Amino acid sequence: MTYVVNEACIGTKDLSCIDVCPVDCIYEIDEMVVIDPGECIDCSLCEPVCPVDAITPAEGVPADQRDFIAINAAWPDGREEVNRLLAEWRA
Ligand code: SF4
């Protein structure tokens, strides 16, 4: 399992999650933050500190936000790949 940041982060990017993550697996890109699923230890500490409820466990991602599972998971492939998937999601 992993935690996933969804669309609600865009336009807010509060960054409180980065402060509480014990393994530093939340990364800031231009519009939002993303969680590297290979590094996340599922501690859940980030979920309650998000002021816009943008973080959920992967199995709890709302149906209309499922694209964000892949958007977060693209982090190991590089920032450009995350941005590319975000642009694709918008199209
Ligand atoms: Fe970091 Fe824990 Fe959130 Fe995973 S669940 S991103 S390890 S704070």
pLDDT tens digits, one per residue of 30-57: 999 999 999 999 999 999 999 999 999 9
The chain-wide mean pLDDT, for the chain, equals 97
Ligand 1 within 6 A of 35 CB? yes
pLDDT given at position 58 = 97
Ligand 1 within 6 A of 46 CB? yes
Q: Which long-range contacts (CB under 8 A, 24 or more apart) does 58-67 make?
A: 58/1, 58/2, 58/3, 58/4, 59/1, 61/4, 61/6, 62/6, 65/4, 65/6, 65/7
pLDDT given at position 1 = 85
Structure tokens at 85: 């998937």
pLDDT given at position 62 = 94
Question: Atom 4 of ligand 1 has which residue's CA nearest to it?
Answer: 40
Ligand 1 within 6 A of 40 CB? yes
| Average pLDDT score over residue span 20-26 | 98
pTM: 0.97
pLDDT given at position 57 = 98
What's the gap in Å between 49 CA and the centre of ligand 1? 11
User: Which of 2, 33, 40 has most ligand 1 atoms within 8 Å of its beta carbon, as the pocket-test mutant?
Assistant: 40
pLDDT given at position 28 = 97
pLDDT given at position 84 = 97
